[in-house]
Structures are given as C-alpha cells and as structure tokens.
Amino acid sequence: MPEKTPGSIQIQQLNMRIRGRGPEAAHRIANGVVGSLARALPDGASGRYGALNVRVPVASNASDAEISVAVAAAIARELDRGRRHGGYRT
C-alpha cells in the first residue's frame, strides 16, 4: 500500500499550556502538530473551521514528538466529530 501523502493545513492560532516547556519546545511541538494533523486528516478533507478547544492529557515525561502526535490526534477527532455532526464550519 502506498504511503499517504500529507495534506495541507493552516492553523492561524494555536495556544497550548504545557508545564515545564519553554518557547523553543512550544514551537517544535506546534510544528509537529501541523505535520501530524496533515497526515491524520482524510484525503480530500477541506474547509474552514472555527475555534476548537481540546484537552490533551500527556505524561509529564512525554517527548515533544509524543505531545505533537497526541494533540494532532485530539484535533483530528474533534474535526471528524464536527464533520459528522455538521458543526465547526464557519
């Protein structure tokens, strides 16, 4: 099976609260979220979405990459839930 080609995504604002991490780690995590989310979205997914508020519990010793994947997965679940129920589009 061919590897899925990542889609394109633009996030205008991403606010995260992560204890014990500085601005450099936040940038790495945010960049990882975008990449992971683009791969997690279904082929052909498009549209504009309003604000999402997700809570993502992660272990205190989670790596930046693990946090990125967890956040992206939570966002993808919310977007999918919104698509199935007709919400979140603006």
Q: What is the pLDDT of residues 20-65, one digit of tens each?
A: 888 899 889 999 998 888 887 766 666 667 778 888 999 989 999 9
| Within a domain: 90 | no
Instruction: Answer yes or no: is 16 within a domain.
Output: no
- 10 pLDDT higher than 60: yes
For residue 76, what are the domain limits?
23-85
Q: Is residue 3 part of a domain?
A: no
Are 73 and 52 within 8 A, CB to CB? no
pLDDT bracket for residue 67 (50, 70, 90): very high
| pTM across the whole model | 0.76
Give the best-scoring range by mean pLDDT among 67-71, 73-77, 86-90.
67-71
The residue to which tokens 């979140």 are assigned: 88
Instruction: Confirm whether 18 is domain-assigned.
Output: no
Is 64 inside any structural domain?
A: yes
Residue 10 lies in a domain: no
Looking at the structure of the chain, the number of domains it has is 1
